[in-house]
A and B are shown apart, each in its own frame.
Chain A
Amino acid sequence: MPKRCAIVGSGNIGSDLMYKMLRSDVLDLVAVVGIDPESDGLARAREAGLEAPHTGPDWILENAHDIDMIFDATSAYVHVRYYKKYAEAGITAIDLTPAARGPKVIPPVNLYDHLDAPNINMVTCGGQATTPMVYAIRRAIETLPYAEMVSTVSSKSAGPGTRQNIDEFTKTTSTALREIGGAEHSKAIIVLNPAEPPILMRNTVFAGLPEGSDHSAVLDSIHEMAAEVSKYVPGYRLKNPPVIEEGPFFTPGGEVPHRAVVLLEVEGAGDYLPTYAGNLDIMTAAAMRVGEAVAHAQEEVPV
């Protein structure tokens, strides 16, 4: 039986996710919840034949008997206020804010590790784009002393949530590079670019390679991972072939003789925002993948 789902938040992410979920056989979208009755997002939801209440997350709690799973596309601040209430009401929450209350999931790395968790955090768009590569490098060598990511998104695709909470983005992303990617030390950077026409989302991963690393194994692993991610984010690609540059580099994880540089581009599927907004697309595509996996897992558990 399809899971009855609601999206909380009717902004860019919520709308993009709505169009993806309307195509799902596993996730049955019943409502998009907002706070402004006049919002474009709620109007789009009504057009799609969905319930579109403007009473915010409280609507979910009032209708908990009817909802199996929510996708939170509000802000870290709102998610922190409600995440316990969702859990108490027996609703699985897939959190697209950087609140980071539940375990973090990056589908090609740890999709199946937390399917029974009441709350799953989707990290950040930059985290979804770069953590797989950090993990790919890590699995090809013994230890990864330091990894770094730089995410550049077009100004038009960075909503007020991202802009007001930019530290949450970098902190949550950096943590994911260590906890899920396997780096010992990490740093995350985000840059907004106002160029017209808007640029596609760009992500660069730098990884410090210790003495004795097998460089061809690192490069092979990067290519394999790019193929893996592009299965659920079709616009995800290596902009240039990955390169290994010679140092030495004095990283926070110690001196390394080489670094790997992975230059990524993410073109969005254009479900709601234009294709430049790959940052939204990778987030909503990853959340869909997690939601569907959770739904399958819940079906398999005998009640």
Chain B
Amino acid sequence: MSASTDQASVDYRLIDSTLRDGSHAISHQYDADQVIAIVRGLDAAGVQVIEIAHGDGLGGSSFNYGFSKVDEKELIARACDEAKNSTIACLLLPGIGLADDLKDVRELGVGMARIATHCTEADISEQHIKTAKELGMETIGFMMMAHMNSPEGLVEQALLMQSYGADAIYIADSAGAMTTEDVRRRVNALVEALEVPVGVHAHNNLSMAVANSIAAYEEGASNLDGTSAGLGAGAGNCPTEILAAVSNKYGISTGVDALKLMDVAEEVVRPMMPRQQVIDRAGLILGYAGVYGSFLLHAQRAAERYNVSQAEILLELGRRQVVGGQEDMIIDVALELARKHAEKEGK
């Protein structure tokens, strides 16, 4: 269950988040059979780390983010049992999940904890990074919505996480809003300033996920995230089967079998997807306006409920500079749009 043994021989480590970020795209309805099938496929393809949790991290099951169909800890236990070589990882957002959750999943066999905060709020991760380290887990500091902070600002935040004991630092393009240049400048600054490895988590709202991941690698990132078939929040994540194929073309060694990942995507994941990961108008607006990707389906439901435009909701959330976790503001915006429309019609 150790990824470090493989790490020496590969150019970057692939962390698969189909069972965590992918959970958004299926409204957190994974069941045990699906988890087992995905873990089995990814493990056989040589994926070093498999992340699993509610899409909003441990403890995310809620009115605000959607209730999990099956208790995430039950699913995590099944994943740990099924994985032969892959390390099982969990993500936790301080403010949503608890340090106690880390203790629970450590007992289930989870080897890695990723502690995620908004990219300007790293200091709320201290308690959780330290807990994960004390529990003996590899611990990654994960800064979300990284397009909302400058390279210098991210360095400042990353140094905090490093000082708490993080073994690596990630930036996440949670809104899929970054250009390749945006990614290069941020990764470059982090690689220069940090002692620990750097990783990038890309989204595809601007159709840049694979290109941005390769650019991140070229700037020195040694951990890259993706999901099978791109299953994930917004227009989806960096699709691992494509990232692996492109890496092979570049001669970048990944340690994963691209053809096997294509099989998993086609035969295991696509059949369970309620909708394919396409960049439709709403998905594109997320990237264009810099809005948190997991708002997509919540905004769709609110738009239907209150008979307003999903695109208008997303644009207004962008104007309000809403951050990850504020899904309740989708209802707030929808109600205000509905009221404005009613007032207009009244006149």
For A252, list chain B residues within 8 Å (CB).
61, 67
User: A247-280, CB under 8 A of B: which get 1 and which 0?
Assistant: 0011110000001010100000000000000000
B332 contacts which of A165, A169, A239, A259 (Cβ < 8 Å)?
Answer: A239
The one of A155, A166, A190 that contacts B127, using a Cβ cutoff of 8 Å: A166
Give chain A nearest CB distance to B125 CB in angstroms: 9
| Chain B contact patch, size range | 35 or more
**Which residues of chain B have C-beta atoms less than 8 A from A12's C-beta?**
none
Shortest distance from the beta carbon of B56 to any chain A beta carbon, whole Å? 9
Is B127 within 8 A of A249, CB to CB?
no
State which of A32-40, A88-96, A191-199 sits at the interface with chain B. A191-199
Give bound CA distance, A251 to B99, whole Å: 22
Instruction: Check: A184 CB closer than 8 A to any chain B CB.
Output: no
When each residue 85-113 of chain B gets 1 if its CB lies under 8 Å from chain A and 0 otherwise, what string results? 00000000011101110000000000000
Any B CB within 8 A of the CB of A63? no
A124 to B174 alpha-carbon distance, docked (Å)? 30
Total interface residues on A, CB under 8 Å, equals 39
**Does chain B have a CB within 8 A of A187?**
yes
Assuming the A-B contacts A259-B63, A261-B331, A263-B331, are A194 and B121 also in contact, with contact meaning beta carbons closer than 8 angstroms in the complex?
yes
Chain B residue with minimal CB distance to A241?
B335
**A216 CB, nearest partner CB in chain B, Å:** 18
CB-CB under 8 A from A26, the residues of chain B are none
Q: Which of B62, B95, B120 contacts A194 (CB 8 A)?
A: B120
Q: Is the CB of B326 within 8 A of A193?
A: yes
Interface centre among A192, A249, A251, A263 (most CB of B within 10 A): A192
**Chain A residues within an 8 Å CB radius of B123:** 160, 163-164
Q: Is the beta-carbon distance between A189 and B62 smaller than 8 angstroms?
A: yes
Q: Do A251 and B120 contact each other (CB < 8 Å), given the known contacts A150-B328, A195-B321, A204-B328?
A: no
Q: In the complex the two chains form, what is the Cα distance from A190 to B305 in whole Å?
A: 26
A170 close to chain B: CB less than 8 A:
yes
- Which B-chain residue is minimally distant from A240 (CB atoms)? B335
**Contact present for A193 and B95 (CB under 8 Å):** no
5 pairs of residues in contact across A and B, judged by CB atoms under 8 Å: A148-B62, A148-B64, A193-B118, A193-B322, A194-B120
294-347 of chain B: CB within 8 A of chain A: 305, 320-329, 331-332, 335-336, 339
Q: How far is the CB of A51 from chain B (nearest CB, A)?
A: 32
Q: Which of B18-59 contact A (CB under 8 A)?
A: 59
* CB nearest neighbor in B for A207: B63
Indicate with 1 or 0, residue by residue over B277-301, a CB within 8 angstroms of chain A CB atoms: 0000000000000000000000000
A243 adjacent to chain B (CB < 8 Å): yes
Contacts A167-B94, A251-B63 given: A192-B118 contact, CB under 8 Å? yes
Per-residue 0/1 for B111-129: is the Cβ within 8 Å of any A Cβ (1 yes, 0 no)?
0000000101101101100
Is the Cβ of A263 less than 8 Å from the Cβ of B121?
no
- Whether a CB of chain B sits under 8 angstroms from the CB of A152 is yes
Q: Convert A197-236 into 0s and 1s, putting 1 for each residue whose CB lies closer than 8 angstroms to a CB of B.
A: 0010010101010000000000000000000000000000
Contact with B along A150-184 (1 / 0, CB 8 A): 10100100001001111101110000000000000
CA distance A196 to B326 in the complex (A): 16
Does A58 belong to the interface (CB within 8 Å)?
no
Please tell me which one of the listed residues B69, B325, B329 contacts residue A189 in the complex, with CB atoms under 8 A apart.
Answer: B325
CA distance A55 to B133 in the complex (A): 35
Query: In the complex, A264→B262 CA distance in Å?
Result: 47
Contact residue among A189, A195, A208, A240 (Cβ-Cβ distance under 8 Å from B336):
A240
Q: Would you give the shortest CB distance from B135 to chain A, in whole angstroms?
A: 15
A101 to B232, CA, bound (A): 43
Complex A-B, nearest 8 residue pairs according to Cβ-Cβ distance, in ascending order: A195-B321, A206-B63, A204-B328, A191-B325, A190-B95, A194-B120, A240-B335, A150-B328
